Amino acid sequence: MTSSVPSDVLGRRILCDTEYATVRYAGSVPPTTGLWLGVEWDNPQRGKHNGSHEGIQYFKCSHPTGGSFIRPNKADFGVDFLTAVKNRYGLNDEEDVECEKENALVIGKKTVELIGFDSIIEQQRQLNKLVDISVRECAVSHAGQKEEISTTCPNIRTINLSKNLLPSWEKVTDIACQVQNLESLDLSENRMKFPSVSASIACTLCKLKLLALNQTGVTWTEVLLCAPAWPALEELYLASNDITVLERPINVLQTLKLLDLSNNQLIDGNQLQLIAYLPRLEQLILSNTGISSICFPDVVFGCKTKMFPLLQRLTIDDNKISQWSFINDLDKLQCLQSLKCQNNPLMRTEKYPETVRQLIIAKIGQLKVLNKSEVFPDERKGAELDYRKKFGNDWLAAGGNQNPDENKPNAEFLAAHPRYHLLCLKYGFPDEGELKQQQPFFLKNQLLTLTIKCPDKPDQKPIEKKLPDSMTVQKVKGLLYRLLKIPGSELKLSYESSKMEGKEIELENDLKPLQFYSIENGDCMLVRW
C-alpha cells in the first residue's frame, strides 16, 4: 500500500484487501479534505454507489452499486514483472530460504512455487534458466525498466499472467515484446483496455502460439485489431467476455487451430458463418453461447459444405439446441470427428439417453467420438440399423418403396432424415413385414440375469448384468465395448447354457435378439476379441 499516487492513476488497476477495482477518479470529495480515489469494483457487491456523492457525479459505473471512494493508502498499485517473478520463485537475495517439503519452498512464513525437478533451489536462483513462469495473482501492473526482462530472463517461453493488475494491452506488450521466444501467454482475469481503433503494431509476437484472454472484457472487434501482432497463433481462448457479435477475420488468425468462445452469448447461430472460413481451424468450443440453430446454406443435404473445412472437434454443451435439424446440418461438415453436446434440450427428447446417442451417431456419418466416448464400428452399425428400423414406417408413409422406380419419399421426410436413403443403400431397404414385427425402441420385455466372462483374459473378473431378452447381439456388443473398455477390435460372443453343461453356442447373427438363441436366466455369456 502507498500514500503516493501514480501520475497515470486514472484507469489503473488496484487491489484493496482481496478485491480488484479500476480507478475512475482522483481528487477531492467535498466537504471532506484530502485526496480520494473513486474506484469501480470488479465485484459490484463490494461498492456503495454509482460514482456520485451528495448529488455530484464524480465518475460513472456500469453497475448502480459498483463504486466507492477510498484513500490512496488503501490501494495496491502492484509491482513490475521481475519483482513478481523474484517474489514468486524465492529469488530475492535478502530473504532467508528454508527447504521444507519436497515440492515447496518456505520463505519465512510464505510458501512459494517450485519449478523443475532435481537441484530445484539452485536452478531457481538463476533467472536466465527460467522457461515456464507463473506469476498468477502476483499484482503485476507493468514491465519495469526497459529491456530488463530480455536481459535477465532470455529463455522464457511460457508466461501465466492471469488475475493481475495489468490495465491495458499496451502494458502487456511492454512485457511480451521483451520475450523473444514467447510461445504461450495467459492473461485471463485481467480487466484491460484494448485498442479500439487500428494502430501501428508496436511489436510482433512472432512465436506466440497460445493466447488466453478469458474474462478480460475484450470484444471480437478488439481481437481483430490486435491480431496482426500474432501471425503464428494456433490457440485463442476468449471465454466469458460478453462477445455477442462476430466479424469475418481478414488476413488475420489464418493459422488458428483452436478457438474458445464459451460463455459468450452470441446473438444467434448465424454469427458462426462469419468465422466459418478460418482455413486451419480444427477445434471450436461454443459451450453456453445461447445458440439454438446452425446452418450451412451453401450446400444441400448429402453434400459437404466449404465452411469450417478442417473442423474436427466441436463442443456445443449447455446451449438451447432442441431440434434434430441442428444435428442433421453437422453431417455437412467435411472433417467433423468429435462432438460434445451435453445439457441441451435435444438430449431429453427420448426416454433413454442411449437412444439419443444412437440417433446422433446414425445422423453424423463420420463421427468417431461422442461426448468423450469413442464410437466403435459395432456401435455405429447397431445405431444405423436401429435408425433404419425406427423410422421405416415413416419412410413408407412418406412414399418410400423398395422398388427404386417407386421410391419417392416426400421432401419433409428427406429434410428430417437426410441420411436415411444412404443407410438403406448400405444395409438394404426394410420390408413391410420386418417393420410390422418391430419392437418399440429399447423396449425391455424381460430381463435376463447373465454372467459375462472373458475366457481369454483370466485377469478380467466375471460381471453379472441384466439384459432384456429383446436386445440384439449388435446392441450387446456395443454395451460390452463400453462396459469392458475394449479397444476397437471385432468382438465374438457365445454362451453356455446352464441346461447344457460344456456346450458353447455362438451368437453369430448381429441382428438377432438374445431370445432367438434361447438364452435364459443364469446362463454365461463368453466374450472374446
490 vs 232, higher pLDDT: 232
Average pLDDT estimate for 111-128: 54
pLDDT-based confidence at residue 92 (cuts at 50, 70, 90): low
* Residue 67 confidence (pLDDT): 97
Query: What are the angstrom distances between the C-alpha of 267 and each of 220, 225, 323?
Result: 13, 21, 18
- pLDDT band, very low/low/confident/very high, at 46 (cuts 50, 70, 90): very high
Q: Determine, yes or no, domain membership for 489.
A: yes
131 and 162 together in one domain: yes
Question: What confidence tens digit (pLDDT) does each residue in 428-470 have?
Answer: 888 766 676 544 444 445 788 999 999 998 888 899 999 988 8
Considering only 145-154, 290-299, 401-410, 512-521, which range has the smallest mean pLDDT? 512-521
The domain that holds 501 is classified in CATH as 3.10.20.90
The answer to whether residues 206 and 131 belong to one domain is yes
pLDDT higher at 299 or 499 = 299
- Kindly state whether residues 484 and 470 are assigned to the same domain: yes
Q: Give 512's pLDDT tier (boundaries 50, 70, 90).
A: confident
pLDDT confidence of residue 209: 98
Neighbours of 221 (CB within 10 A): 16
pLDDT tens-digit series, residues 304-342: 999 999 999 999 999 999 999 999 999 999 999 999 999
The answer to whether residue 326 sits within a structural domain is: no
Long-range contacts of 26-34 (CB under 8 A, 24+ apart): 27/58, 29/53, 29/58, 29/69, 34/71
Nearest to 179 by CA among 228, 113, 121, 133: 133
Q: How far is CA 49 from CA 60, 217, 262, in A?
A: 10, 22, 31
Closest by Cα among 389, 367, 343 to 511: 389
pLDDT of residue 50: 95
Is there a domain that residue 499 lies in? yes
Q: In what order do the strands lie in the sheet with 104-107?
A: 97-101, 104-107, 110-112
pLDDT at 122 over 70: no
Report if residue 101 sits inside a domain: no
Q: Which ranges of 68-190 would DSSP assign to H, the alpha helix?
A: 81-88, 120-124, 148-152, 169-176
Measured distance CA(74)–CA(68) in Å, rounded:
12
Of 19, 128, 125, 146, give the one whose Cα is nearest residue 81: 146
Could you tell me what percent of the chain has a pLDDT over 90?
A: 69
Mean pLDDT in residue range 485-497:
83
- Check: CB of residue 37 under 8 Å from CB of residue 2: no
Q: Within 446-521, where are the H helices?
A: 473-483
Read off the C-alpha cell for 2: 502507498
How far is Cα 359 from Cα 418, in angstroms, rounded to an integer?
Answer: 13
Q: How far, in Å, are 331, 336, 420 from residue 301 at the CA level?
A: 8, 15, 11
What is the CATH number for 243?
3.80.10.10
**Residues 131 and 273 occupy one common structural domain:** yes
Contact, 392 vs 438, CB < 8 A? yes
**What average pLDDT does range 467-484 have in this prediction?**
87
Strands 184-186 and 210-212: parallel
Q: Smallest Cα–Cα separation from 185: which of 115, 151, 220, 232?
A: 232
Containing H/E element for 448?
Answer: strand 447-453
**Same-domain check for residues 160 and 300:** yes
Is residue 131 domain-shared with residue 219, that is, in the same domain? yes
Q: How far apart are CA 337 and CA 279, in angstroms?
A: 17
- 228: its cell numbers: 496482426
Cis previous bond, 31, omega within 30: yes
Q: What is the residue whose three cell numbers read 427420448?
A: 350
**What is the domain extent for residue 267?**
79-91+120-321
Q: Which of 235, 243, 280, 231 is nearest to 260 (CA)?
A: 235
Count CB atoms within 10 A of the CB of residue 318.
18
269 — pLDDT class (breaks 50, 70, 90): confident
Name residue 39's amino acid: V
- Tell me which residue of 183, 170, 187 sits closest to 136, measured CA to CA: 187
Crossing angle for the helix pair 377-390 and 353-363, nearest 10 degrees? Answer: 100
Rounded Cα gap, residues 527 and 462, in angstroms: 11
pLDDT of residue 175: 96
Does 96 reside within a domain? no
| pTM, full prediction | 0.78
Q: Do 20 and 46 form a contact (C-beta atoms < 8 A)?
A: no
**Exposed, middle or buried: residue 209 (CB in 10 Å: 0-12, 13-18, 19+)?**
middle
Contact 384, 364 (CB under 8 A): no
d(CA 100, CA 126): 20
Beta-strand runs (E) in 264-393: 283-285, 313-315, 338-340, 369-370, 373-374
Inform me whether the pLDDT recorded for 17 exceeds 50.
yes
The enclosing H or E element of 526 equals strand 524-528
Query: Of 276, 294, 321, which closes a domain?
Result: 321
Co-location of 420 and 487 in the same domain: no
Q: Final residue of a domain: which of 271, 296, 321?
A: 321
301 and 407 part of one domain? no
* Whether residue 385 sits in one domain with residue 263: no
**Each residue's pLDDT tens digit, 167-226:** 999 999 999 999 999 999 999 999 999 998 876 677 899 999 999 999 999 999 999 999
Amino acid at 471: M
**Helix 377-390 with 420-427: angle, nearest 10 deg:** 110
Could you tell me if 267 and 135 lie in one domain?
A: yes
Q: Do both 493 and 393 map to the same domain?
A: no
| Structure confidence at residue 107 (pLDDT) | 43
Choose between 405 and 183: higher pLDDT: 183
| C-alpha cell of residue 510 | 448381429
pLDDT tens, position by position, 363-389: 999 999 999 999 999 899 989 988 998
State the chain's mean pLDDT as an integer. 89
State mean pLDDT over 64-86: 96
Percentage, residues of the chain above pLDDT 70? 90
In a domain, 300, yes or no: yes
Q: Could you give the 3-state DSSP secondary structure of residue 413?
A: helix
**What pLDDT does residue 501 have?**
75
Task: Answer whether residue 281 is part of any domain.
Answer: yes
Number of structural domains the chain divides into = 4
Burial 106-137 (b: 16+ CB within 10 A, else e): ebeeeebebeeeeebeeebeebeebeebbbbb
Would the pLDDT of 105 be above 80? Answer: no
Residue 361 contacts residue 379 (beta carbons within 8 Å) = yes
DSSP type of residue 31: T
Residue 501 counted as domain residue: yes
What integer is the mean pLDDT of 45-54? 94
294 with 159, same domain: the answer is yes
